[in-house]
Copies of this chain bind each other. A is one copy, B any other.
Amino acid sequence: MEKLKKQIPHIGRRRVPEKLAAGEVACQDCGMDPMCSILEYAEEGSHVPEGVLLRRRQVARGETIFLKDDPFRSVFAVKSGSFKTYIPKVSGHDQVVGFHLIGELIGMEGLSSQRYPYTARALQDSSVCELRMESLAETGYLLEELQRGIISMLSAEVAFNHQLITALIHQSADQRLAGFLLNLTKRLYSRGMRQVEFQIGMSRSDIGSYLGLASETVSRVLTRFQKNDLIQLRHKRLRLLDPDGLREIAEH
């Protein structure tokens, strides 16, 4: 990603100054930025058709932006709010496969099969930017840089999943949750969200599904963390009081 910027250094500077709504990620902190940059740069050559990049669509809490097995059209970036991606199950509980925070991308994994492998639903009122890969492909317009960005992102995703798998396998409920909380705040921090307190959109059962725990276990562990002054958790507002303590637990 950073490499990409170095290759096209004039990008970013020439970007139109943006007005940030409260709680929105800045473009330079957004995961879509490398691709947006390339597209905007390319626009001068006017090869990019209209409607390839749709900016800041509002998505209401509970709304889906695509369903599992929908034909792959677009990659989305979360501008504000948060999403969960999950595989719907007939037998009761869905399987949550990911949380997508501010500045992160959704839908990339549809590239191979040309179908989305999961449903994406807003956990709270959110907004997204949409990159219509379909239109891009149709015009035969798939810049090498763009592809490189995609490759970079996908291989990062794979690495992250390896970590997740390792975590799920060997770690106790305490370790998983400590790691999860640290991961959340780390991700938000890297996107420029530097508050001490965060709104976590996901429910206990979402977290449980994602981490392979019963929602009751999630609840129990979180209250215990709270009793030990590791975190503060009121309703859906989270504050890490003792990140080092959590790290201690996560790494054992």
Residues of A whose CB lies within 8 Å of any CB of B are: 87, 95, 97, 108-113, 117-118, 142, 144, 147-148, 150-159, 161-162, 164-166, 168-170, 209, 211-212
Across the interface, name the chain B residue whose C-beta is closest to A157: B158
Across the interface, name the chain B residue whose C-beta is closest to A108: B155
Greatest chain B CB density within 10 A among A87, A111, A152, A165 is at: A165
Kindly report how many copies of this chain are found in the complex they form together.
2
Q: Are A153 and B112 in contact, CB atoms less than 8 angstroms apart?
A: yes
Query: Given contacts A95-B166, A157-B158, are A112 and B144 in contact (CB under 8 A)?
Result: no
Could you jot down 27 A-B contacts, CB within 8 Å? Answer: A87-B162, A95-B169, A97-B162, A97-B165, A97-B166, A109-B159, A109-B162, A111-B152, A112-B151, A112-B153, A112-B154, A112-B156, A113-B159, A117-B159, A144-B147, A147-B151, A150-B151, A154-B154, A154-B157, A154-B158, A158-B158, A161-B161, A165-B165, A165-B168, A168-B212, A169-B209, A169-B211
Q: Are A161 and B159 in contact, CB atoms less than 8 angstroms apart?
A: no
* Whole-angstrom CA separation of A156 from B97 in the bound complex: 15
Across the interface, name the chain B residue whose C-beta is closest to A111: B155
